[in-house]
Amino acid sequence: MTDDEKKLSRRADFLPQANEVRMPPALASRIELFPENKRRPVNKTVFKNDYFQLTYNTRDNSLSISTKGDLVYSAIPYDTARNYIQRAGIQYLLRPEGVRQYIELHQSTIEKYLVKSIFQVSGQKVSENSFEVKQAYNAILQNPLLEIQVTGRLMQHDETGPLSANLAGKFLFSENLKTGISGYLSEYLNFVVQATNALPLMIDGGNVQLLDSTEPDPLLLENNLSIHSNIEPALALLPQEVQQGIENALQLTNQPLINTRPLLRSEYGKELAHLRENYIAHSVHPDELAQSFENVHSAENRNLINVLSDIHATEGLLPFVNRNFNILAGDVSDSKVKDQEIVGIYVMGMHELLDVLPESADTTTNEWKKWRSFFRYEWFKALTTDPAEASYLLPIGDDSFYGVVKEELTQRFAKMHVLNNESLIHDGVRYIGLTIPVALVQKRAAVQRFILKTLNELLGEDREMPTVIVSHAPLFNELSLLSPTSEAYNKENICQEPGIEALFAEYNILGVIHGHHHIPASSSRFAKVAFGGKKLFVVCSIYSKVNTGFELLSLLNSEK
């Protein structure tokens, strides 16, 4: 057998077999316990109680928690904070003192919301230092279930912008009692503790994963509830009814003062429908409210290898400071940002393609000279007139246009290595930067041929060097953190080029980094996935006030 034949044979070993379904042993034994699974070919129940169920999707091998039909999350119409509140609940179980610190850090923000909340209820205008506001703030600290909810609201505030709708139900104890959220939260905490004690799971409030071994990576467990978590300090602080529900897996008793009884559609369905029909939505955009709130988080970041993307800086400056090594995965600037001190690597996204163009509308001026060779292309015309349309027309990432974009970015970021289908070695790790500004699903075959060709050239003969691949848009669905339930998810963007997976198997590729989809930091900034016959990491670290970067070093060390 020739060397080429041996290489092809090694690669073939890692190619997926058609229609192959691998049911994790920990779940397979539970499928038969639930009769409903006989008529469910895809979503199989593996654990449930009165209000929630854990299901396993046999198509994409994923786990998810969902409510059983009768349970209502919130009586507040269009309440979008459920995942944030669930994640805050998990963090409370893991580190109640951390949740309290988060609340105290945001005291000024909470007081502003309380001023607006009191006005919404009573029409009374009070100041932030008034007795009414101090009393309402203390009420939050005295009620753990409300404290968890407010923490979730603040996480949403920091990631998506200020809140405006039904603030009283979200921040005032007396009004929050009517929303039913405390009852929902009590049952949710009850369920996740039961589930993690029954199955080898990690739950962060949004994502559910199986533990790979009896000694899982501590980095994975840091923000996840599992059987290894010590929740005793949190239990001691929660209301007695919630403690009993968790400890004994019994239905929660009802105490009107705390109101941990959930809202059920069977009892309140007509009332909730009437409330929604007559609901008048608030129309204040978060951007208009943002100036009223200060950023209480530090802009300084001391990560040794700091990963960020989708910063979209609008004031000409980066909104964070890190003087170590940074990995910027595109869409950094919307205001011609310059930073001559930041060090690291940078791959371009879609917004860089616009941000580097001259501001003058007169294309006859000298500043347009270097761009004139692209004027004849439809995609370039669209880029200057209708950027949203241009994103579907852009050339594949080896086009000369991206070289000119790199020149412009290099002038603004003198100490950054702008990797336009190039590699750089830093502290023994090879970083390959691929130019994939957007997910060109319509050109999937051509894009993946470009990826395979470029990786073959850049990986070369050194199969042992630890390697990380960085791009703005994810390479394809298999190496993306975007959830299949997202509106942005396109099921067609799959890896159809077997040579890519074989390449991942053959070389010491530790993981990939991407941005593009604006996945909230609270959702998950990294995951371990199976690809190329091995486990590797996927990191997506979108900028927000609560996330000025992800520390890649610990993840690299665990992989190496």
- State the DSSP string of 32-100: TT-GGGGG-SSEEEEEE-SSEEEEEETTTTEEEEEE-TTEES-SSTT---HHHHHHHHHHHHH-HHHHH
Is residue 20 predicted with pLDDT exceeding 60?
no
Least confident of 174-188, 212-226, 243-257, 529-543: 243-257
Backbone φ and ψ of 469, nearest 5° = -105, 130
Distance CA 24, CA 29 (A): 9
In the block, tokens 């949190």 appear at 234
Per-residue pLDDT tens for 33-70? 898 898 888 999 999 998 999 999 988 788 999 998 78
pLDDT of residue 558: 80
Is residue 393 predicted with pLDDT exceeding 50?
yes
Distance CA 225, CA 199 (A): 12
Top mean-pLDDT range of 66-70, 158-162, 334-338: 334-338
Strand order in the sheet with 62-67: 43-48, 52-57, 62-67, 208-210, 201-203
**pLDDT, mean over the chain:** 89
Q: Domain 298-559, what architecture?
A: 4-Layer Sandwich (3.60)
Is residue 214 predicted with pLDDT exceeding 80?
no
Relative orientation angle of helices 181-198 and 144-160, to the nearest 10 degrees: 90
Average pLDDT of the segment spanning 376-389: 92
Per-residue pLDDT tens for 254-269? 333 345 667 787 777 7
Average pLDDT of the segment spanning 494-514: 97
pLDDT of residue 276: 67
User: What region does 80 belong to: left with phi over 0, alpha with psi -120 to 50, or beta?
Assistant: alpha
**Strand segments (E) across 329-390:** 343-346
Is residue 194 predicted with pLDDT exceeding 60?
yes
Average pLDDT of the segment spanning 273-293: 70
pLDDT of residue 156: 94
Average pLDDT of the segment spanning 383-405: 93
In the block, tokens 């090594």 appear at 325
Checking DSSP bridges between strand 550-551 and strand 305-308, what pairing results, if any? antiparallel
Under the banding of pLDDT at 50, 70 and 90, the label for residue 112 is very high
Average pLDDT of the segment spanning 353-358: 96
Predicted TM-score (pTM) of the model is 0.75
pLDDT of residue 277: 66
Under the banding of pLDDT at 50, 70 and 90, the label for residue 240 is confident
Give the burial string for 196-216 (b: 16+ CB within 10 Å, else e). Answer: beebbbbbbbbbbbbbeeeeb
pLDDT of residue 252: 36
Under the banding of pLDDT at 50, 70 and 90, the label for residue 441 is very high
pLDDT of residue 366: 93
Please enumerate in sequence order all residues whose Cβ is within 8 A of that of 33, keeping only pairs 6 or more positions apart, or say none: none
Is residue 8 predicted with pLDDT exceeding 80?
no
Average pLDDT of the segment spanning 350-377: 94
Where are the domain boundaries for CATH 3.60.21 in the chain? 298-559
Under the banding of pLDDT at 50, 70 and 90, the label for residue 221 is confident
Under the banding of pLDDT at 50, 70 and 90, the label for residue 15 is very low
Is residue 95 predicted with pLDDT exceeding 90?
yes
Backbone φ and ψ of 310, nearest 5° = 55, 45
